[in-house]
Amino acid sequence: MREWQHAYKAEHGHWYHRRYAAQQREYDRRRYRERPHWRVSYPAMGSLVDARRRARVEAASGMEAVVPAEVYARDGWICRLCWLPIDPEIAWPSPMSASMDHIIPLSRGGLHSMINVQSAHLSCNSSKGDHLAVERIKL
């Protein structure tokens, strides 16, 4: 891939991804304006997704309550996926905001308890998805 990018730059005088990124951003903006979020288009489906999530959390809950602030303090405000610090001042929509990650995901039978949660950046948690941390490492 890198050879192709260098060949493209030699032929066209600029990197391919820069021009494409601007076009992609414009396409994303246009698509966002034209299509509402799926929760707006399908409100019943959003309720169903939320209900399924609540049921998984309830089924996986141990006897102890999980308090996010206690998890972040226990982990020293360090993301346990990328090992970079988490800024407590950053609010939720930001990719670098704090979130709780289930070490063994609920969808794989993990518990919603203090021993199965860790602090993570929202972007790290989203990229991990429902995989185990060891599955993310390419051997």
What is the pTM (predicted TM-score) of this model?
0.57
Give pLDDT tens digits for 33-82: 888 778 888 888 888 888 888 887 777 776 678 889 999 999 999 999 99
- Burial (CB count <10 Å: 0-12, 13-18, 19+), residue 104: middle
**CA–CA gap between residue 35 and residue 41 (Å, rounded):** 9
Q: How far apart are CA 51 and CA 47, in angstroms?
A: 6
Average of per-residue pLDDT values in the chain: 83
Q: With cut-offs at 50, 70 and 90, classify the pLDDT of residue 139.
A: very low
Question: Which among 99, 81, 98, 76 has a CA at the least distance from the CA of 89?
Answer: 98
> Which tokens go with 106?
């609920």
